[in-house]
Structure 1
Amino acid sequence: MDGSLPARATRTTCPYCGVGCGVRATPDGRGGATIEGDADHPANRGRLCSKGAALGETLGLADRLLHPEVRGKRASWDAALDAVAEGFTRALDRLGPEGVALYVSGQLLTEDYYAANKLAKGVLGTGNIDSNSRLCMASAVAAHRRAFGEDVVPGTYDDLDQADLLVLVGSNLAWCHPVLFQRAMAAKAARPDMRIVVIDPRRTATCEGADLHLPIAPGSDVALFAALLVHLDAHGCGDARYIADHTQGLAETLAAARMIAAEAPALTGLPATQLEHFCELWAMTPRVVTLWSQGVNQSSAGTDKANAIINAHLFTGRIGRPGMGPFSVTGQPNAMGGRETGALATMLAGHLEWDAPGEHAALADFWGLPRLATGPGLKAVDLFEALGAGSIGALWVMATNPAVSLPAGDAVRGALAAAPFLVVSETTRRADTAAYAHIRLPALAWGEKDGTVTNSERVISRQRAFMPWPGEARPDWWAVAQVAARLGHADAFAWSGPAAIFREHAAVTGLARPASRAFDISGLAARSDADYAAMPPTRWPVPASGPATERFFADGNVPAGRARLVPTLFRAPHAQPDAAFPLRLLTGRLRDQWHTMTRTGSVPRLMAHAPEPVLTLHPDDEPALPDGSLVRADTPAGSAVLRLARDAGQRRGTAFAPMHWTAQFAPAARINAALIAATDPLSGQPELKHTPLRVSPYAAAWHGFLLMPQSGGADLAAWCAVTPLEGGAWRHEFAGPESPAEAFARLRALLPAEEWVVLEDPVAGVFRAAALARGALAGFVAVAPAALLPPRDWLAALMTSGVLAPADRAALLVGRRADGPPPSPMVCACHGVTVATIVGCGAADVAGVGAATRAGTGCGSCRPEIATLLAREFA
Structure 2
Amino acid sequence: MRATTESATPSVKATHCTATTCPYCGVGCGVTLEWEDSESGPRIVSLAGDTRHPANYGRLCVKGSALAETLSPQGRLTHPQVRDAAGVLREVSWDTALDLIATRFSALRETHGAECIAAYLSGQLLTEDYYLANKLFKGFVGTPHLDTNSRLCMASAVVAHKRAFGADAVPCSYEDLESAELVVLVGSNLAWNHPVLFQRLKQARIDNPLLRIVVIDPRVTDSCEIADLYLGVRPGSDARLFNGLLAYMAERGRMDRLYLEAHTQGFDAALKAAKVDDCSLAAIARDCDVDVERLETFYYWFTTQLHVVTLFSQGINQSTSGTDKGNAIINCHLAGGKLGLPGAGPFSITGQPNAMGGREVGGLANQLAAHMDYDTPGARTLVSEFWQAPNLPEGPGHKAVEMFAALGRGEIQALWVMATNPAVSLPDSEAVRSALARCPLVIVSDCVSDSDTLAYADVILPASSWSEKDGTVTNSERRISRQRGLLVPPGEARHDWWQLAEVGKRMGYEQAFSYAGPHAIFREHARLSGYRNATPRAKAGKRMSDELPCVKRLFNISPLAELGRQGYDDLIPIQWPVYRNAQGDLVGTRRLFEDATFNTPNGRARLVPVTPQQPHQQLSDAAPLRLNTGRIRDQWHTMTRTARSARLMNHRAEPYIELHARDAQARKLEDGMLARLLSRDAQGAIRGDYRARVHISSGQRAGEVFIPMHWNDHFASHGRAGALLAGLTDPFSGQPESKHGAVEVIALESEWQATLLLAPELLGSRSAFAAAIEALDGCYWARIPQDTLVRYQLAGGGQPDWQRWCDEQLGISADLWGEDTTHKELRAAGLVEGRLKWWLRVAPSSSREFRQPNVAWLGECFATDQLAPRERRSLLAGRPSGQADAGAMICACHQVGEATIRNAIQAGDTTVESLGARLACGTRCGSCLPELKRIVEEERSHERTDTSLEMA
TM over 0.5: yes
From 594, 607, 629, give the equivalent of 1:554.
594
Which deviates the most, 845-854 or 775-784? 775-784
Query: 1:452, 1:461 within 8 Å by CA — same for their partners in 2?
Result: yes
Equivalent residue runs for 1:590-669 within 5 Å: 590-623=632-665, 624-636=668-680, 637-669=687-719
Question: Deviation of residue 667 (structure 1)?
Answer: 3.0
Conserved? CA contact 1:432–1:664, under 8 Å: yes
Q: Is structure 2 residue 108 aligned with structure 1 residue 49?
A: no
Q: Find the aligned partners of 2:376 and 2:809 in 1 and give their Cα distance.
A: 65
SS of 1:154's equivalent in the other structure is coil
Report the Cα distance in structure 1 between the residues aligned to 2:917 and 2:818, rounded to whole angstroms.
44
Q: 1:741 to 1:32 in 2, by over 3 A?
A: farther
The question of whether the paired residues in 1 share the 8 Å contact of 2:401 and 2:727 is answered with yes
- Indicate if the aligned counterparts of 1:790 and 1:815 stay in contact, CA closer than 8 A: no
Closer/same/farther in 2, CA of residues 628 and 799 from structure 1, 3 Å limit: same
Whether 1:144 aligns to 2:161 is yes
Kindly indicate whether the alpha-carbon contact (under 8 Å) linking 1:741 and 1:765 is maintained by their aligned counterparts in 2.
no
Counterparts in 2 of 1:678 and 1:417: CA distance versus 1, 3 Å: same
SS at match of 1:550: coil
- Counterpart in 2 of 1:719? 780
| C-alpha distance in 1 between matches for 2:128 and 2:831 | 53
Deviates more, 1:22-31 or 1:280-289: 22-31
Q: Does 1:538 align with 2:582?
A: no
Which of 677, 682, 688 aligns to 2:732? It is 682
SS of structure 2 residue aligned to 1:168: strand
Query: Is structure 2 residue 773 aligned with structure 1 residue 729?
Result: no
SS of 1:345's equivalent? Answer: coil
Q: What is the match of residue 409 of structure 1?
A: 429
Give the distance between the partners of 1:248 and 1:748, measured in 2 at CA.
76
Instruction: Please list, as runs of the form range in 1=range in 2, the aligned pairs for 1:733-748 lying within 5 A after superposition.
Output: 733-737=793-797, 739-742=798-801, 745-747=804-806
* Distance apart, 1:662 and its partner CA: 0.7
2:914 maps to 1:845 = no
| 1:858 partnered with 2:924 | yes
Deviation at 1:808, TM superposition (A): 4.0
CA distance in 2 between counterparts of 1:759 and 1:820 reads 20
CA separation of 1:353 and 1:41: change in aligned 2, threshold 3 A:
same
Q: Map residues 399-798 of structure 1 onto 2, 5 A cutoff.
A: 399-514=419-534, 515-543=551-579, 549-560=589-600, 561-623=603-665, 624-636=668-680, 637-710=687-760, 712=763, 713=766, 715=770, 716=773, 717-726=778-787, 728-737=788-797, 739-742=798-801, 745-747=804-806, 749-751=808-810, 753=812, 756-760=815-819, 766-786=825-845, 788=847, 789-793=850-854, 794-798=857-861
CA contact (8 A) 2:871 2:880 kept: yes
For structure 2, list consecutive stretches of 5 or more residues without a partner in the other structure: 1-12, 84-88, 535-550, 681-686, 942-952
User: In structure 1, the residue corresponding to 2:74 is in which secondary structure?
Assistant: coil
Count the aligned residue pairs: 869
CA offsets 1:387-407 (integer angstroms, 9 cap, x no match): 111110000000000011001
Report if aligned partners of 1:101, 1:126 keep a CA contact under 8 Å in 2: yes
Residue identity over aligned pairs, in percent, reads 48
The secondary structure found in structure 1 opposite 2:658 is strand
Mapped contact 1:95–1:391 kept (Cα < 8 A): no
Structure 1 CA distance, aligned partners of 2:305 and 2:146? 43
In structure 2, what is the Cα distance between the partners aligned to 1:209 and 1:545?
40
Letter in 2 for 1:872: E
Q: Is the 8 A contact 2:140 2:391 kept in 1?
A: yes
User: Aligned residue for 1:810?
Assistant: 873
Counterpart-to-counterpart distance in 2, 1:748 and 1:784: 20
1:145/1:151 contact within 8 Å kept: yes
Partner SS, residue 509 of structure 1: helix
Residue 81 of structure 2 is aligned to residue 61 of structure 1: no
Determine the C-alpha separation between the residues in 2 that align with 1:763 and 1:866: 38
For residues 820-865 of structure 1, give each alpha carbon's deviation from its aligned partner in whole angstroms, at most 9, with x where no partner exists.
Answer: 1124111111111122332333322112222222211111111000
* CA gap 1:449/1:33 in 2 versus in 1, 3 angstroms: farther
Greater Cα shift, 666-675 or 248-257: 666-675
The answer as to 2:116 corresponding to 1:99 is yes
Superposed CA deviations along residues 501-549 of structure 1, whole A, max 9, x for unmatched, are: 0011011111232243211111111211111010000110014799964
Shift of 1:769: 1.0
Q: Quote the Cα distance in structure 1 between the aligned partners of 2:714 and 2:111.
A: 35
2-structure distance, mates of 1:57, 1:787: 38
- d(CA) in 2 for partners of 1:804, 1:787: 34
- Asked if structure 1 preserves the Cα contact closer than 8 Å seen for 2:416 and 2:444, the reply is yes
Between 108-117 and 466-475, report the one with greater CA deviation: 466-475
Partners in 1 of 2:580 and 2:389 — Cα distance? 25
Distance 1:234 1:761 in 2: 72
Deviations 1:542-568 (A, max 9, x none): 147999643222332323211100111
Deviation at 1:592, TM superposition (A): 0.5
1:225 is matched with which residue? 242
Could you tell which deviates more after superposition, 714-723 or 71-80? 714-723
**Cα distance per residue 1:277-336 (max 9 Å; x no partner):** 110111122211000011111111110111111111000011021111100000000000
CA–CA distance in structure 2, aligned partners of residues 747 and 298 of structure 1: 46
Q: 338-347 vs 227-236, which deviates more?
A: 227-236
- Which region of structure 1 is more displaced relative to structure 2, 140-149 or 365-374? 365-374
Identify if the C-alpha distance between structure 1 residues 773 and 135 changes in structure 2 by more than 3 Å, giving closer, same or farther.
Answer: same
How many Å separate the matches in 2 of 1:762 and 1:834? 31
Distance 1:41 1:170 in 2: 27
Length-normalised TM-score, structure 2:
0.89
- Residue 678 to residue 707, structure 1, CA distance change in 2 (3 Å): same
Q: Are the aligned partners of 2:886 and 2:898 in contact in 1 as well (CA < 8 Å)? A: no
Can you give the 5+ residue segments of structure 1 that lack an aligned partner in the other structure? none
- The alpha carbon displacement at 1:357 in A equals 2.9
CA contact 1:743–1:783 (8 Å) conserved in 2: no
Q: TM-score, normalised by structure 1?
A: 0.96
* Alignment equivalent of 2:203, drawn from 186, 206, 219: 186
**Aligned partners of 1:27, 1:593: CA distance in 2, in Å?**
26
Task: Tell me the distance in 2 between the aligned counterparts of 1:43 and 1:100.
Answer: 38
